[in-house]
Amino acid sequence: MKDYGFKYDKNGDPFIEDCQKNSFFIYYTSPEALTLFRAFWNNNFGIQDKYVAFWDKVAERLSPNKYVIGFDPFNEPMPSWTSVMDALYTATFGHFDATDLTPIYSRIYEAIKKHDDNNIMYFEPGQFPDEAPGMVFDLGFKTPPGG
């Protein structure tokens, strides 16, 4: 993040006006963001376990609410790579869906369904490389969460 030339406040956080000079998407390619995504997909420090526990609590609280029509645990999930070779190997259509998303979606689905069998979970594939403007490729899901 230091390469963006931002000004920082006394806490070491970049000023929001500097951050807003760029489209938010380019920050997804920063080493910091890629490291955080990789930590999540690898469940480093149990972060993925805590995320499933979060959705368990959300579903417990909101399942009785007749205005909640479903749960969407990820918006445009982003894969991560640890090296150029890793990116080349894993950036094949469906790989991220099959290896990273399928297991976590299954865990979240179980947490949501245990509070009400009628609960609906929305899910989507990774935003890269499964889709590109004007094109959609084969996904890595063999079945939806829960079969």
Q: What percent of the chain has pLDDT over 90?
A: 51
Sequence-distant contacts of 8-16: CB under 8 A, at least 24 apart: none
Q: What percent of the chain has pLDDT over 70?
A: 87
In this prediction, residues 9-15 reach a mean pLDDT of: 92
Nearest to 78 by CA among 124, 113, 117, 134: 124
Q: Which residue has better confidence, 67 or 4?
A: 67
> Residues 59-76, buried b or exposed e (16+ Cβ, 10 A)?
beeebeeeeeeebebbee
Give pLDDT, residue 84.
56
pTM for the full predicted model: 0.82
In this prediction, residues 95-102 reach a mean pLDDT of: 89
In this prediction, residues 86-97 reach a mean pLDDT of: 70
Give pLDDT, residue 138.
75
Calculate the average pLDDT of the chain. Answer: 87
Structure tokens at 145: 């969460």
In this prediction, residues 110-117 reach a mean pLDDT of: 98
For the stretch 41-85, pLDDT in tens is 999 999 999 999 999 999 999 999 999 999 999 998 888 776 656
CA distance 94 to 83: 19
CA distance 128 to 91: 8
In this prediction, residues 19-41 reach a mean pLDDT of: 87
Nearest to 141 by CA among 104, 115, 111: 104
Angle (CA) 58 63 67, round 5°? 105
